[in-house]
């Protein structure tokens, strides 16, 4: 078929057309902002503002340890004059040590907790009831407990070889009820053994028999700078912020894999795996499920100096085999919110649905193909366009 050629243009008309096109490109037309390229990942990295564990990207490396490579940990076992051990230290260790493999997998092979066990009971100088293990345990009281444990074990353990200490009490010590994490405060005397300052430790309690090995993943991550995602003010539901979608929330939840935002903060997800929208525009992104390594892991829409929305893909595999629902998980992040007060909050795609048997509120939170999340006040819209076996394709928009 013969093609009809356009009539030749006069030079002036051609120049006018080029200039008009350039003006449209520069100034935009309705809808044009949504063709802008995504912003740099760093434009969506929120600052930490609380002075402690929070969702800021700039973790203080002078306070928290960097979760990269091999972290050498010594595990010591303690009993008490009023609660002598009657079980094997190896039995107690077996309750926790699988957590090292769990963290290795959850970190995409970027962090290995090399745990050396000194499987003999060492006697603490005071009764278990003298250490005041209650919620609200002061830093000073906690440090005194750690110091007693380290001193008792020091004849057998060269603490200079280790980055972190795990203290495991006998199961008979009911008074050592819960598991706080110790991070050295320069304003206190601290604990020094074999010429090494103990900067990070986890002192396990009887809740280890409830939570199991994932407790190791939760508490160790506090030494990396991650906050608690459950509510300190339990109210009607201590897990109303994120449900079971991160081990830093409900340890025994259905989806304990670390949220993509957390893994980015820890360096387990790289900047080139993050799509950022910090200015007006729109991006279509295929997100590979966070349980797997590789691929784009999250899309972020920044909404303020300390706030953003995040969308990631979740599948019932690996750490998350117990998921009640899969799809695109959307959550808000506010790095100005303190640990235990909801620095991350999951958006529920199905707030009126009745949870399936064995599932909790927010377990069915993910958005599926055809569903959308909007925050009109923030000018944010997230559309789930399609889903595949290991991914979700979404469009994020900021107006």
What end-to-end distance do the CA atoms of the chain give, in Å? 45
The CA-atom distances, in angstroms, between 40 and each of 60, 307, 308, 375, 396 are 22, 16, 14, 23, 15
Please report the sign of the dihedral spanned by the C-alpha atoms of residue 72, residue 247, residue 225, residue 147.
negative
Classified by CATH at the fold level, domain 69-223 comes out as: Collagenase (Catalytic Domain) (3.40.390)
Whether residue 32 has pLDDT greater than 80: no
Q: Which of 37-51, 119-133, 141-155, 282-296 has the lowest mean pLDDT?
A: 37-51
In this prediction, residue 36 carries a pLDDT of 60
Please report the sign of the dihedral spanned by the C-alpha atoms of residue 257, residue 261, residue 265, residue 271.
positive
- Nearest one of 338, 341, 266 to 51, comparing CA atoms: 338
Residue with the larger pLDDT of the pair 36 and 183: 183
In whole angstroms, what is the distance from residue 117 CA to residue 109 CA? 22
Give me the residue spans of the domains in the chain: 35-59+240-398, 69-223
Instruction: List pLDDT tens digits, range 216-232.
Output: 999 999 999 999 999 99
Identify the DSSP state of 128. Answer: G
Average pLDDT over the chain, rounded to an integer: 91
Helix count and strand count (H, E) for the chain: 7, 16
Mean pLDDT of 205-216: 98
Please report the sign of the dihedral spanned by the C-alpha atoms of residue 249, residue 335, residue 60, residue 196.
negative
Task: Give φ, ψ of 261 to 5 degrees.
Answer: -60, -40
Whether residue 11 has pLDDT greater than 90: no
pLDDT grade, residue 28 (50/70/90)? very low
In whole angstroms, what is the distance from residue 165 CA to residue 182 CA? 9
Instruction: List pLDDT tens digits, range 302-332.
Output: 999 999 999 999 999 999 999 999 999 999 9
């Amino acid at each position: 078929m013969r093609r009809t050629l356009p009539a030749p243009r006069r030079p002036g008309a051609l120049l006018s057309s080029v200039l008009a096109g350039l003006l449209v490109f520069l100034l935009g037309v309705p809808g044009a902002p949504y063709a802008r390229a995504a912003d740099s990942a760093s434009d969506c990295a929120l600052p930490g503002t609380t002075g402690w564990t929070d969702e800021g990207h700039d973790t203080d490396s002078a306070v928290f340890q960097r979760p990269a490579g091999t972290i050498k940990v010594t595990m010591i076992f303690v009993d008490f004059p009023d609660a002598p051990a009657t079980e094997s230290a190896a039995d107690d260790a077996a309750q926790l040590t699988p957590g090292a493999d769990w963290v290795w997998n959850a970190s995409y092979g970027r962090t290995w907790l090399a745990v050396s066990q000194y499987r003999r009971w060492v006697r603490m100088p005071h009764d278990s009831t003298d250490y005041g293990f209650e919620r609200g345990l002061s830093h000073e009281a906690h440090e005194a407990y750690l110091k007693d444990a380290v001193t008792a074990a020091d004849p057998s353990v060269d603490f200079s070889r280790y980055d972190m200490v795990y203290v495991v009490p006998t199961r008979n010590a009911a008074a050592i009820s819960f598991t706080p994490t110790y991070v050295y405060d320069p304003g206190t005397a601290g604990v020094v053994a074999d010429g090494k300052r103990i900067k990070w430790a986890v002192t396990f309690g009887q809740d280890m028999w409830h939570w199991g090995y994932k407790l190791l993943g939760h508490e160790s991550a506090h030494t990396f700078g991650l906050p608690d995602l459950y509510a300190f003010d339990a109210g009607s539901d201590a897990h109303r912020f994120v449900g079971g979608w991160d081990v830093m929330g409900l340890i025994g939840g259905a989806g304990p894999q670390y949220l993509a935002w957390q893994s980015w903060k820890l360096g387990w997800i790289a900047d080139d795996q993050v799509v950022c929208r910090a200015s007006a525009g729109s991006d279509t992104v295929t997100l590979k499920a966070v349980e797997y390594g590789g691929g784009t892991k999250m899309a972020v829409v920044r909404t303020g100096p300390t706030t953003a929305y995040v969308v990631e893909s979740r599948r019932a595999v690996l750490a998350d085999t117990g998921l009640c629902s899969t799809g695109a998980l959307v959550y808000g992040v506010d790095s100005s919110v303190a640990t235990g007060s909801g620095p991350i909050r999951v958006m529920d795609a199905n707030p009126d649905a009745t949870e399936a048997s064995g599932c909790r509120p927010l377990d069915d939170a993910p958005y599926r193909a055809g569903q959308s999340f909007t925050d009109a006040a923030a000018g944010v819209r997230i559309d789930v366009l399609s889903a595949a076996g290991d991914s979700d394709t979404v469009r994020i928009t900021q107006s």
